[in-house]
Amino acid sequence: MLTDTTIEQWLREDVGHHDVTNHVPGETTGRLVAKESGVAAGLDAAVAVFAYLGVDAAQSVADGERIEAGDAVLTVEGSARAVLRGERVAVNIAGHASGIATKTQTAVSAARQASDDVRIAGTRKTTPGLRGIEKRAVVAGGGDSHRLDLSHMVMVKDNHVAEMGMEGAVSHFRERVSFATNIEVEVEEPADAPRAASAGADIVLLDNMSPAQTAEAVDTLRADHPDVLAEASGGISVEDVPAYARTGVDIISMGCLTHSADTLDYSFRTGQ
C-alpha cells in the first residue's frame, strides 16, 4: 500500500534541502502526455503524489489500457509550486510502471502465439521500495504477480536442498506452514521434476532449463503427477517465450519484466 511516508521520501529525495526552482507563484494546470505507445500503469501512484501536495489530479485512462503517442493520461490543477514539485516524481513512477506493463503485455502476446493457457508471471526481482507498484504494473500488463513476498509461498531452492535434502526440506516446511500455503520446489534436471512432486511439491520450478529440457520435464512430471503445476524460469527473455509456452508449462516467470523493462516515455506539460 502506498503511504504518505513513502511519497514524502520520494519528494524529499528529488527536492533536496534548498531548492528554489519550484518557487513559482500562482495557479496552473498540467497534463501527463505519452510520447510513445504502450500500456498505462502507475497512474494511481502519480495521482497520489499530486494529492499529497494538495493538487487536484485525475487519470484520463485506467491502468492496463493501451495508449498511443500524444495521449494525455493524467490532468492536474493547483498551485504552480506544488505541481512543479510533484511532476518529476509522478513522471518517473508512471514511466517506470508503464514500461513494466508494456513489456509484460508484449510477453503475454508472445505466449499466446503458442498457448492460450500459460501464465506470464513476475518474480521477486523488484526494486526495493517499489515492489507494490512494480507488481501491480505486471498485472496491468496482463501478467500474474507471483508471490508478493516470501510469506506468500514456500520456495525450496538449491540451498535448502543442499542443507536438508529435497524430501527433508519439503517435509520440514510442510510442518511449519498453513494448510493454505503452497510449496514450490526448484529443480535443475528434468528427472528431478517427478521426484519433487512425489516429495510433496504443489508446484515444480524448472530452473534454467532449455525449452527441450523443459518439455521433457513437463512430460515426465505429468505422467504421474498431472495436478502439480509446472513453472519455467531462469533467464527467459520475451523472445524465448513462445518456445517455452509450447512445452506445456503452466507458468513462465520472468525477472526481466521488472528489472530490465524500459521506461515508457512521458512528458509533463504545464499551462495547457
For residue range 25-43, what is the model confidence (pLDDT) as tens digits?
688 999 999 999 999 999 9
Please state, in angstroms and rounded to a whole number, the distance separating the CA atoms of residues 146 and 153. Answer: 9
Q: Is the pLDDT of residue 24 over 90?
A: no
pLDDT of residue 245: 98
Q: Is the pLDDT of residue 146 over 90?
A: yes
Please state, in angstroms and rounded to a whole number, the distance separating the CA atoms of residues 121 and 145. Answer: 6
Averaged pLDDT for residues 81-109: 95
pTM of the model: 0.90
pLDDT of residue 143: 98
Q: Name the percent of the chain lying above pLDDT 70.
A: 95
Between these two residues, 7 and 53, which has the higher pLDDT value?
Answer: 53
Instruction: For residue 260, give the amino acid letter.
Output: S
Query: With bands split at pLDDT 50, 70 and 90, how would you rate the model's confidence at 6?
Result: confident
pLDDT of residue 16: 62
pLDDT of residue 18: 59
Look up 157 and say whether it is catalytic. Answer: yes
Q: Is 168 helix (H, G, I), strand (E, B) or coil?
A: helix
Look up 125 and say whether it is catalytic. Answer: yes
Q: Is the pLDDT of residue 231 over 70?
A: yes
Q: Beta 251-253 vs 119-121: how paired, if at all?
A: parallel
Averaged pLDDT for residues 118-133: 93
Look up 103 and say whether it is catalytic. Answer: no
Look up 207 and say whether it is catalytic. Answer: yes
**Which entry of 88, 112, 195, 246 is annotated as an active-site residue?**
88
In the chain the domains, ranked by start, together with CATH numbers, are 4-108+262-270 (3.90.1170.20), 115-259 (3.20.20.70)
Q: Is the pLDDT of residue 11 over 90?
A: no
**Which entry of 186, 192, 231, 240 is annotated as an active-site residue?**
186
Q: Is the pLDDT of residue 253 over 90?
A: yes
> Are the C-beta atoms of 56 and 77 separated by less than 8 Å?
yes
> Are the C-beta atoms of 222 and 248 separated by less than 8 Å?
yes
Q: Is the pLDDT of residue 20 over 60?
A: no
> Are the C-beta atoms of 41 and 101 separated by less than 8 Å?
yes
**Which entry of 63, 207, 216, 231 is annotated as an active-site residue?**
207
